[in-house]
């Protein structure tokens, strides 16, 4: 049986599938040619990430498909319910990239707290001529230890991010409409474990109390963070969105930065992806990455092997 990994798959995933008797094709087929390719090659399993969409037209036109897999968490690019109604298995890997996203968020947080995103741009240009000026400009950083991190959305990724925060000496508060409390177990290199019980509180209280805020929520119709939410935050707050484009109102974010309400923000996802708005790209208070939250070698290995395991379990 043939598996098309249209947006790629790790070597470990390929090896696991081939060991299970599957032929793995890693050719990237253009969206408009995908239906014909799947039917001509008798593809049984289609694996995607975020670049390929699997909508009703493709599902209807490819009766030989048995499994649609998403390497990652969100499945916004797949018509999941329709596929399942048609008898297809739809799988994803919700746990594989959680820690990768958490580390990216904290990479941004540390960078913003110490102006690394700007200093790394300015030093090559002015380091030899304006060293003293740059030192003065970037000498008012803050420490994360002792600060409060607010987590909006306390599922797997939110919890993984909270663990990194606890390890950094931060206080963690969280909002999640579906959870009352969560037990977090931190594992250390020498086998020690420490448990923390985090009781969720209201969204408003999280916004009011947090020095840093990170979003880990699914895509939704309304903004999770809009002008009203910015208004009740602390002055000088730092925010990260590595969840989905469209959960933060980017226009309101820029205004909040201009007012001094937001000291800095990290964006890994954008409302207009893959062409983020120029006012975001040029704003010195923003630390930006091109949707790379899950893009670590370790996460891709876990994603590939987990997809392979699910496919082999379903199809034998």
Verify that 65 and 157 share a domain, yes or no: no
Q: How many separate domains does the chain show?
A: 2
State how far the Cα of 157 lies from the Cα of 98, in Å rounded to an integer: 5
DSSP 3-state helix, strand, coil percentages of the chain (rounded to 5)? 40, 20, 40
Q: Let me know whether 112 and 214 are in one domain.
A: yes
pLDDT surpasses 90 at 50: no
192 with 241, same domain: the answer is: yes
Range of the domain at 47: 2-96+297-315
Q: Clarify whether residues 203 and 274 are in a common domain.
A: yes
Q: Tens of pLDDT along 107-123?
A: 999 999 999 999 999 99
- 278 with 171, same domain: the answer is yes
Of the candidates 282, 225, 285, the residue with the CA atom closest to the CA atom of residue 260? 285
* Token pair in block for residue 272: 């207009």
* 69 and 107 together in one domain: no
> Are 85 and 126 found together in one domain?
no
Per-residue pLDDT for 76 more than 90?
no
Catalytic site residue from 204, 227, 273, 298:
273
**Annotated catalytic, 273?**
yes
How sure is the predictor about 94, in pLDDT bands with cuts at 50, 70 and 90? confident
Average pLDDT over residues 33-55: 96
Q: How confident is the model at residue 127 (pLDDT cuts 50, 70, 90)?
A: very high
At 228 the pLDDT is: 98
Beta strands (DSSP E) in the chain are 2-5, 23-25, 43-48, 67-70, 89-92, 148-152, 171-175, 181-187, 193-199, 212-215, 237-241, 262-267, 286-288
Residue 65 contacts residue 46 (beta carbons within 8 Å):
yes
42 and 189 part of one domain = no
Among 244, 250, 302, 306, the one annotated catalytic: 244
pTM, full prediction: 0.89
pLDDT at res. 73: 81
Q: Are residues 6 and 139 in the same domain?
A: no
Is 46 exposed, middle or buried (CB count within 10 Å of its CB: 0-12, 13-18, 19+)?
Answer: buried
pLDDT for residue 277: 97
Specify whether 63 is located in the same domain as 199: no
Pair (150, 250) in one structural domain: yes
Q: Which of 108, 291, 302, 306 is catalytic?
A: 291
CATH assignment of the domain containing 67? 3.40.50.720
Q: Can you tell me which residue has the tokens 């289609």? A: 46
> Averaged over 235-260, what is the pLDDT?
97
Instruction: Calculate mean pLDDT across residues 10-38.
Output: 97
> 242 to each of 49, 166, 275, how far by Cα in Å?
16, 19, 16
Active site residue 227: no
pLDDT in tens, 163-212: 999 999 999 999 999 999 999 999 999 999 999 999 999 999 999 999 99
Q: What is the pLDDT of residues 193-206, one digit of tens each?
A: 999 999 999 999 99
Q: Are 129 and 256 in the same domain?
A: yes
């Amino acid at each position: 049986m043939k598996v098309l990994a249209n947006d790629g798959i790790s070597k470990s995933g390929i090896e696991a599938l081939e060991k299970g008797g599957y032929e793995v094709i890693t050719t990237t087929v253009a969206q408009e040619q995908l239906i014909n390719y799947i039917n001509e090659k008798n593809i049984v399993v289609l694996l995607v990430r975020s670049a390929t969409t699997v909508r009703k037209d493709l599902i209807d036109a490819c009766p030989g498909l048995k499994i649609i897999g998403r390497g990652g968490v969100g499945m916004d690019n797949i018509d999941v319910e329709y596929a399942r109604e048609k008898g297809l298995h739809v799988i994803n890997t919700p746990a594989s990239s959680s820690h990768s996203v958490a580390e990216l968020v904290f990479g941004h947080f540390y960078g913003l707290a110490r102006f690394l995103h700007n200093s790394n741009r300015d030093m090559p240009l002015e380091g030899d001529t304006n060293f003293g000026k740059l030192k003065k400009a970037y000498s008012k950083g803050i420490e994360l230890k002792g600060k409060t991190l607010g987590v909006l959305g306390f599922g797997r990724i939110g919890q993984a991010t909270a663990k990194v925060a606890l390890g950094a000496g931060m206080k963690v508060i969280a909002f999640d409409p579906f959870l009352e409390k969560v037990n977090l177990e931190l594992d250390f290199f020498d086998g020690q474990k420490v448990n923390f019980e985090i009781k969720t509180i209201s969204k408003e209280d999280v916004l009011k109390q947090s020095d840093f805020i990170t979003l880990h929520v699914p895509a939704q119709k309304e903004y999770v963070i809009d002008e009203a939410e910015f208004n009740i935050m602390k002055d000088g707050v730092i925010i990260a969105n590595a969840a989905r484009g469209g959960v933060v109102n980017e226009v309101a974010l820029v205004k909040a930065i201009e007012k001094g309400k937001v000291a800095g923000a990290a964006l890994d996802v954008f409302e207009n992806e893959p062409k983020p708005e120029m006012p975001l790209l040029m704003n010195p208070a923003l630390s930006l990455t091109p949707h790379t939250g899950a893009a670590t070698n370790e996460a891709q290995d876990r994603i590939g092997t987990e997809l392979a395991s699910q496919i082999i379990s379903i199809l034998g």
